[in-house]
Each structure stands twice: as structure tokens, then as C-alpha cells.
Amino acid sequence: MIDLNVLCGMKGKSVMVTGATSGLGAGIAKFFASAGVRVMGLGRNERAGQAVVDEITAAGGDAVFQKCDVTKMADCVAAAEAAQKRFGRIDCLVNCAGDTRRRTVEDLMEDEWDTVIDATLKGVYMMCHCVVPYMKKQGGGKIVNIGSGWALKGGDHAVAYCASKGGVWNMTRALAIDCGPHNINVNCVCPGDCDTPMLKKECEQLGGVYDDEFKASCAVRPIARLGRPEDVAMCVFFLCSGMSPWVTGSALVVDGGGIA
């Protein structure tokens, strides 16, 4: 019989998760830790990030928080060095950090465009720039970039967000081509609307109230509910595990059928 724990091969491995202070990033960090993976959570909010790490360690997991602004190269370099020093290798990188401004092109200001593109798109480049050399040296690794359903189709009042996530998806494919010969798999997970602080932020930017009525409007899809962080975390885990050795340059849509 197949032992799925052996097939997954994740216990004792290491992962860096950006945007791990809340929402999907925090959920991914917690899920990986619960499976015996050593976790380094990255983010700008040290207090929130440490709270996530404290929750993980209280449950018996192995986690540490590293303050890191993914738009700053010095922070990304320091984070990669810290992970290498702590774990001895970097098995997985999950790029989850991002930001949004729900605006049409005529309403979006230049500084808002820069904020979204830098946090959501440039940050993926920065972290991969710093981590890929370690993975190449150790003989392989797994990278999962968090995209969006709107990486694959357009959305209203989201010109910068759609541009950034579309860039993340196409960057994923380019990375997969370059990194494949070095045994580094690079994939993209594209979630739909999930019940997270980011969705609440989007609602408020659109002038709405984050209540049951708004959530119901986001749940209009074949599987009629909002996503949960663990829905996304399980798919990220699969792509980081030994169960996906020949999967690279792919987009895995996790949205309850929203763009089906």
C-alpha cells in the first residue's frame, strides 16, 4: 500500500512564506507547520507575524518570523540568508505577499499603481532572485506563486491588481522554463474570493460593507461559498510536495468554479 506521508515527503522540509502575517499567507504557514514542515513566515507587520508564529509553536510546530518588505532587495537578501542559516536549505518558497487598489484606470493614481505592482509582482521577482541560487546549489526546490482568478481573466475596478496577477502568472511560466533544468518546479495557484482581510479591504475600497450580503455576492459560483485559507493551502502543499514532481509552469485554479 502507498504511504502518503512518504509520498508527500514534506515532514522536516523547510518553506518560506511571504505575506504570512494574515489571510492566505498565514493560513498556508499554519497548514505547512501542521504537516511537520519548518516554516519561516515573512511580512512587514512584525507583531502580526509573530502572533502567527506563536500560534504555530503553541500547537507544536516549528516556525520563525522574519520581518521582510518584499519590495526592498536588502530585506529579501536578508530573509533568504536567514532561512538558509536556520534550515540549512530552502526546500520551498511560497510567494503570497500582495496588495490591491480597487480602481478603474482613470481613478487610479500613479502611486497606487506602484504600490500594487511592487508588492504583488516585483516582490515575486525579488524573492525568486534571492532564493533560486540557493535552490540551484542544493539541487532543486519548489516555488509556488499565489496568483488569482484575475490572473487569467479581467475584473472590474482592478486594473493594477489584474495587471500584477497576470504578470505573476506569466512570470511563473518563464521561471519554470529557466528553472526546470535545475530541478526547480515553479507553479501558480489562482484563488477566487476568500474570506480574508484582503477581501474586506477590497469591499471597503469599493465603498461597501463587509457583511453577509457582500459575502453572499462573492459566493455566486458552482460551489456556492467563499474560499477558506486552508482550501488554498492544501493546493499549495500539493505543489510543494513529492506528489507533483512533473508539474511545473502550471496554474491551479482554486475558486469553487468561479471562472469555469
Q: Which residues are catalytic?
A: 161
DSSP 157: T
Query: Rounded to whole angstroms, how far apart are CA atoms 142 and 192?
Result: 23
CA gap 21, 53 in Å, rounded: 9
Residue 67's Cβ-count burial label (10 Å; 0-12, 13-18, 19+) is middle
- Whole-number Å distance between alpha carbons of 153 and 144: 20
112 vs 89: CA distance, rounded Å: 36
- Looking at the chain, list the stretches that DSSP marks H as alpha helix, in order from N- to C-terminal side: 4-8, 23-34, 46-58, 73-87, 110-117, 123-138, 159-179, 197-205, 212-218, 229-240
Report CA dihedral (210, 215, 217, 222) to the nearest 10 degrees.
160
> Is there a contact between 130 and 229 (Cβ–Cβ < 8 Å)?
no
What residues form DSSP beta bridges with 131? none
Q: Is 76:84 a contact under the CB 8 Å cutoff?
A: no
